[in-house]
Amino acid sequence: MVEKATAEALARNFEALGEVLSDPLRRELAACVNEAVHLPNWQDGGRWLSEQGFSRLSAEGPISKVLRALAFALERLAQQSPPDLRVSEIRLSRCRSGCSTYSGEIVAVGELGHERVELLSGRFLWDCAAWGVPSDQAARERGYACMVEFPAVIETSSA
* Average pLDDT per 10 consecutive residues for the chain, totaling 159 residues: 90 92 96 95 95 98 96 92 87 95 97 90 94 81 88 76
Output the pTM of the full model: 0.93
Residue 41 DSSP code:
T
pLDDT of residue 159: 45
Write down the H helix ranges in the chain.
4-17, 23-35, 45-51, 63-80, 135-142
pLDDT of residue 141: 82
Amino acid symbol at 85: L
Burial class (CB in 10 A: 0-12, 13-18, 19+), 59: buried
Question: What is the rounded CA–CA span in Å between residue 66 and residue 41?
Answer: 10
Domain boundaries, the chain: 4-149
Question: What is the rounded CA–CA span in Å between residue 151 and residue 70?
Answer: 13
Measured in residues, the chain has a length of: 159
- Residue 124: helix, strand or coil by DSSP? strand
**Can you say whether residue 143 is alpha, beta or left, with left for phi > 0 and alpha for psi between -120 and 50 degrees?**
left
